[in-house]
Structure 1
Amino acid sequence: MAEGTNQPHGSESAPCCNTSSNSRTRISDEDESVELSNVLNMLGYGHELRQKRRECYKDLDRIETAQWGFGNCDFITVGSKAEGISRYLESDMDILCVNNFVKCIEAGCDINSIPENTSVCRMDTTICYPGHCLLLLERGFPLLLLLAMCDNGHGQILLSSDACVNILQMSSHFLRGPFPNERAGPSLPFTIGYSNADLVYAFRCHCPSILHRWASRSRHWPPFNIVEKVVSMGAFLTPVGFKGSENNHIEWRICFNTGEAELMINLNDAQIKLYVLLKMIGKDVLKPRHKEITSYMLKNIVLWLAEKNPQSMFHEKSLFFWIRESLLELRTALSKKQLPYYMIPERNLMAATGVTDTQNRRWIATLTDMLDEGPAIIRRLPLIRQAIISHPDPFIWYNTRRIELEIILLESIKSGLYSNGNYLVNMFDYLLRNSLMWRFVVIVNEVFTNLSGKEIMDTYSVFELFHIFSRFLM
């Protein structure tokens, strides 16, 4: 591990920060940074609630795997839900369905170390864009994927990523309760209750050389024990090719979902709140229409900054400073159309995004304006702006009850509420069996009684009540 100095630094291969801002400006922003951190706590992004979310979604994974995996696959919640930084209905759930009978290995790995009852595919990265590969069947014959196999013209069997998604969509009702909707790229969207979810099928991937290259980098963060843990988690292959490739339909993407979740969990409080604010900026200010700028790109900026700078520089008093540094990095990435993937720097996250030059210039101009605004930048974020202009007493009262309601519903995950498509039936059953769940009715009634002056049960139907509490948790 690199010994840290007290100045940010970087390299040509990754975003870095610039401490050209004078110390006087940073000091004047400290109190406002602390207040912003407190507001984020009240809005549901504090440490305790993040931890609660992570625990409950892990419980959900165990329930789903036991009920619908049949020993054939594991269900793993990934993304912002697994990291605990997404409020209950703030964003979709991202779920990996990991096949237990197919293992993928990179060139040079010993196939004999893998159990004989497991089919093995060899990764071929030679003709693919960095971070992607072809899959050559080396051993076994997975019947479920029979129709996804094709000849590569050299007598070898390839596994088509596009065909795999189509096959698994047809067979998905054998693996899960809710039927997925029409596929969206590599994912199969479906709805559970008021939550939307994206299900992505994946294979476990053993790629030690890629992970060891990542682990051997000189860095300030993460510490050695976390680096080792991320390496031990391995990788996954998901059925999506590089957008600009003519072999897109047969390519697979190398992903590190569980390892990245571990990294995010080990960021400190200021770094996680920085990411939350960047997500808000992306959604509410930049507003990309076709995912030209994604929260995943913003996450990578935060990870690079964390790696390249001492942890001691990230604290609640420096929040506005790091917002500025992150926006500088994003502006540079847009200008150069270059943002290295944190795990595999050779992969450019800005490649083949489809962004037009006109849109790019507009975003760069917007970011330049925001950089000149200083702390006033938060006025652009509706959730933060509303919190600031609200009277403190009603704001605290409302959010305290919203957080309590979210905790109650997170606890309901352990009841198997999402175990099949009959969400409302399960909810009513749970209401009858668990007195704690009646507390959510009291909370919603309390909120709307204060807003309308009428008892909610006198004004709204039961189904309207469910709609109200879903809006409450967004």
Structure 2
Amino acid sequence: MFQQPGYIEYVSWRLSEVFADIGVDERIVLKRRRTWLLMASMATLSSQLKDENGSVYFLGSQCEGTTTPGLKSDIDQLLFYNDFNLIQNWADWEPGVCNYLMIQDETVSPGYCLLQRLRNDAPLPGNDVPDQYHFRDRTGRILLNNILMSAVAADAYEGGVRHGPAYTKQGRPGLLDTDIVFAFPCKSWPLPARQWLDQQGAGQWPSADMRKYCSSNGCFVVGVGCKGSENEELEWRISTSLAERCLMYNLNITQIQCYVLMKMILKTFIKPHFEDVISSFMCKTVLFHCIANTYSHVWRENNLLVCLSLCLSVLYNNILHENCPHFIIPGNNLMRGHIPHESKPYILEILQYIIKSEGRAILEIECDCLFDRLHLKLSDFLSFKINDIISGHLLLTTALEVDKNLLEYLLLTRNRSYKEAIQQLLRGIIKLVIISNQCQGLDKTACSLLAPWFCTTLGSVLASLSIHQCNAISADALTLISLGLNTDVSSCKLKLASMLYCIGDTQRTEVVLRDIEANYDPNIVEPVCRCHDYIEQARKRRFCAKCDNHNEEAIKYTTAFCVKFLPCEINCVPYELRQEMYRSTQEDLAFRGRHDDWMDLAVVDSLPYFYFLQYKTYNNLRRHEDKQRALSNLVRTIDQEPNIGHRETALNLLGQCMEQEDRTVVALRCYSLSLSVRERNNAAKIHICRLFSNIISNQ
């Protein structure tokens, strides 16, 4: 079939169009990259705000933009602390920090190193074994055992599973798992990779500028030894992940599509039978070698099938000889110990079948409905694009990271006095301003996304204090609150409405609520909550469509964060919601998880809280029809909105509204439903006890 004139070009074009439909085109790839780079900036910023001397990188398929919804690629996160100084040259030793010398001699597997502990007061070898993670070898060197990283990961992420150097953290229901790698940074380029900086193949790739950039970013070491090595627990793998990310960022769209297609083939034909034998990183390495040794004009969209055949042929040859040299450190054979003797003939047979099929095997790929989409393309029908859905997912990923970082910082102040909370929040704002003035690009964007939330929270704390003192809201509080009113559609405005309601300013409360209603389109706006894990449903089509043409700025008019009140904001919280701060009995506390500290706050989803405040406000204004409309909307929202993170709290508010309506039986039903959502650590127990007490008293 390859011999038919124009066949390769025609099918390659159509296949490239299919990839564009499922989010593998230049625009969506760049959108993915921006999202995950911004996520890394926010995560690192959050670490700095908590005075942790660490940095975060997102790597792998999600950050590269080399995935699709059907591939369901994990999130790869690399964390490191800057308190360690790894050196390859004694001249790089630094006083006052933990220095380790990277030993890379003939006793160490290629691509790995030993870490020798050095003294922190002089550039000399360490003499003492400080803890159980260090070992004195036969020559007297104090070496660091790589099980340290497992201990660090296990302490940080309870319940995770180790897989190589990564520690897999179970994702929220319906979301992706995260592979977390703890690493030590080394500022200098690894010695075994020095030769790579001067090599150049037929493809003139990577360019001299790319190699220079790669070498300037140094490397990492991660806690895993070479499989089968006699020093497996003492060896540390040298990682050039930032250099590899640079290479991926410099691929053209055909090269990216070829890599994604290889991963789909892996998922369809290899992994169901031989789960961990061939990795996507091996496929990426094969792609790098092919690009470096092939003229650049080969990599074009109408030649995608030929490019795929080339890569699969190289992969076949690698498996045949059980040797896949690392692209940057060629001495490191990625397939060493990975190809079981009994599996090898079958894997080769599968690859040979795909190569000889001249593209027909692609029609067997069910991932992302590739077969159906390609069939429709070849039949000259248009297939449905999912770029909107991908864009919506990326925006929500960013919004959830904002919410996560905000919550983590708020929890630092949850048990503080007014004075301490104000100082803590002010310190965070000042630090954000300083960092913002010193950075640019996405780092500055990260600061601009977080700072307004801090301002609103500080303003609310100041308002709570002034309400406590004189039942009024200070000018400073209002100024700070105003700085964050446009963070999202509703949550910060709801805080303003809430505090106005608490001082009895019903008219201004109604004005703020009217403004929220004008901007909150339930057909577009999506709830955002990172307080706890819950099963999330598919997002609204119009929300996703809105996100497709925007980046993180769309958070302002397409998302509604849950509303969080610290205990020191209690005077800005209506009585009905205050009970959420006391949801846990002494017995309930034992059933909290390590990530349940949010339960010390009063937290409620925006839309139910909006309708609750409307109900209370219209009741005070004696606008009966508007009050009943708000109550009906509250009922409908609880019943029909699929992505409410705090449904039990919304039901508790509804129950209290029903009590006010003298509908006692319905109120009790609301509290019972609330307990069915969250059996323990639920303020519904307080409401039920109070309700029964009132019934008995009235009798």
Superposition TM-score, scaled by structure 2 size? 0.55
What SS does the corresponding residue of 2:357 show, helix, strand or coil? helix
- Superposed CA RMSD: 3.5
Equivalent in the alignment of 1:79: 60
CA offset digits 1:141-174 (Å, max 9, x no partner): 999x843112113222110001x123313542xx
Q: Distance in 1 between matches of 2:108 and 2:4?
A: 46
Cα distance in structure 1, aligned partners of 2:381 and 2:131: 60
Offset at 1:251? 0.8
Measured against aligned partners, the alpha-carbon deviations of 1:41-80 in whole angstroms (never above 9, x if no partner) come to 1101111111111111111112212223633221111111
C-alpha contact (below 8 Å) 2:39/2:398 kept by paired residues: no
Q: Do the aligned residues in 2 keep the contact of 1:75 with 1:96 (CA within 8 Å)?
A: yes
- Which residue is 1:105 aligned to? 87
**8 Å Cα contact 1:99-1:203 kept in structure 2:** yes
- The equivalent of 2:40 in structure 1 is 61
How far apart are 1:27 and its partner, in Å? 4.3
1:228-307 to 2 correspondences below 5 Å:
228-287=212-271, 289-307=274-292
The Cα shift of 1:100 comes to 0.6
> Which among 391, 402, 421 is matched to residue 415 of structure 1?
402
**For 2:395 and 2:380, how far apart are their aligned partners in 1?**
23
Superposed displacement of residue 339, structure 1: 1.1
Superposed, 1:133-212 pairs within 5 Å as: 133-140=113-120, 146-162=131-147, 164-172=148-156, 179=158, 181-193=160-172, 194-205=175-186, 206-212=188-194
Q: Deviations over 1:405-457 (max 9, x none)?
A: 234324425624466699xxxxxx9785395996365984559xxxxxxxx98
Query: Would you say how many aligned residue pairs link Structure 1 and Structure 2?
Result: 421
Aligned partners of 1:59 and 1:414 also within 8 Å: no
Contact 1:77/1:94, CA 8 A, preserved across alignment: yes
One-letter identity of the residue aligned with 1:204: P
Aligned equivalent of 1:8? none
Secondary structure of 1:236's counterpart equals strand
Question: Structure 1 residue 463: deviation in Å?
Answer: 5.4
Equivalent residue, structure 1, for 2:524: 439
> Which of these two proteins has the greater Rg computed from alpha carbons?
2
- Give the partner amino acid of 2:345: R
Query: Does the 8 A contact of 1:341 with 1:348 survive in 2?
Result: yes
Structure 2: segments with no counterpart, 5+ residues: 410-486, 492-518, 528-537, 543-635, 647-699
C-alpha distance 295-208 of structure 1, shift in aligned 2 (>3 A): closer
Runs (5+) with no aligned partner, structure 1: 1-20, 173-177, 423-428, 448-455, 467-474
Structure 2 residue matching 1:199: 3-state secondary structure: strand
> Quick one: distance in 2 between partners of 1:362 and 1:82?
33
**Structure 1 residues 102 and 411, CA, compared in 2 at 3 Å: closer, same or farther?**
closer
Q: Once the two structures are aligned, what percentage of the paired residues are identical? A: 23
Distance 2:137 2:31 in 1: 48
Alpha-carbon spacing, 1:413–1:50, altered in 2? closer, same or farther (3 Å): farther
Secondary structure at 2:243 match in 1: helix
CA distance in structure 1 between the partners assigned to 2:347 and 2:637 by the alignment: 47
1:388 partner letter: L
1:35 Cα deviation (Å)? 0.9
**Which whole-Å CA distance do the structure 2 matches of 1:404 and 1:181 have between them?**
29
- Residue 415 of structure 2 corresponds to which residue in structure 1? none
**Alpha-carbon distance in structure 1 between the residues aligned to 2:132 and 2:161:** 20
Q: Helix, strand or coil for the counterpart of 1:319?
A: helix
Tell me which of 94, 97, 101 is aligned to 2:76.
94
Measure how far apart 1:208 and its partner are. Answer: 4.8
- Are the equivalent residues in 2 in contact too, given 1:83–1:264 (CA < 8 A)? yes
CA deviation after TM superposition for structure 1 residue 390, in Å: 5.5
Q: Describe the superposition over 1:155-214 as per-residue Cα deviations: whole angstroms up to 9, x where unpaired.
A: 22110001x123313542xxxxx6562433422222453231011111112345333211
Change (3 A) 1:237 1:26: farther
- Cα separation, 1, equivalents of 2:351 and 2:637: 47
Using the alignment, how far apart are the partners of 2:265 and 2:314 within structure 1? 14
Distance in structure 1 (CA, Å) of the matches to 2:101 and 2:255: 37
Give the aligned residue type for 1:159.
Answer: L
* Cα distance between partner residues in 2 of 1:274 and 1:347: 24
> Does the aligned pair in 1 maintain the 2:184–2:222 contact within 8 Å?
yes
Residue 98 (structure 2) aligned to one of 108, 119, 132: 119
Of 111, 132, 150, 1:131 maps to: 111
Q: Which residue of 2 aligns with 1:10?
A: none
CA contact (8 A) 1:204 1:237 kept: yes
CA distance in 1: counterparts of 2:62 and 2:346, whole angstroms = 31
Q: Alpha carbons of 1:421 and 1:298: their partners in 2 closer, same or farther (altered >3 Å)?
A: farther
Q: Does the CA-based 8 Å contact 1:192-1:421 persist in structure 2?
A: no
What amino acid maps onto 1:408 in structure 2? Answer: L
User: 1:218 aligned to 2:200?
Assistant: yes
Q: Secondary structure at the match of 2:343?
A: helix
3-state SS of paired residue (1:409): helix
State the match for 2:22 in structure 1.
Answer: 43
Question: Equivalent of 1:313, from 298, 303, 316?
Answer: 298
Query: Is residue 210–residue 344 contact of structure 1 (8 Å, CA) maintained in 2?
Result: yes
* Deviation, structure 1 residue 128: 1.5
Question: Per the alignment, do residues 58 and 260 of structure 1 end up closer, same or farther by CA in structure 2, a change over 3 Å counting?
Answer: same
How far apart, in 2, do the equivalents of 1:431 and 1:381 lie?
41
Partner of 2:332, secondary structure, is: coil
State how far apart, in whole Å, the 1-side matches of 2:6 and 2:302 are: 8
Worse overlay, 411-420 or 199-208 = 411-420
Tell me, in whole angstroms, the C-alpha distance in 1 between the residues paired with 2:394 and 2:521: 11
CA contact (8 A) 1:45 1:85 kept: yes
Rounded to whole Å, the distance in 2 between the matches of 1:457 and 1:31 is 50
Structure of higher RCO (CA pairs closer than 8 Å, 6+ residues apart): 1
Contact 2:98–2:120 (8 Å) recurs in 1 = yes
Match of 1:462 among 635, 638, 642: 642
Alignment of 1:349-368 (within 5 A): 349-353=334-338, 355-368=339-352
TM-score by length of 1: 0.79
- Check if 1:371 corresponds to 2:351: no
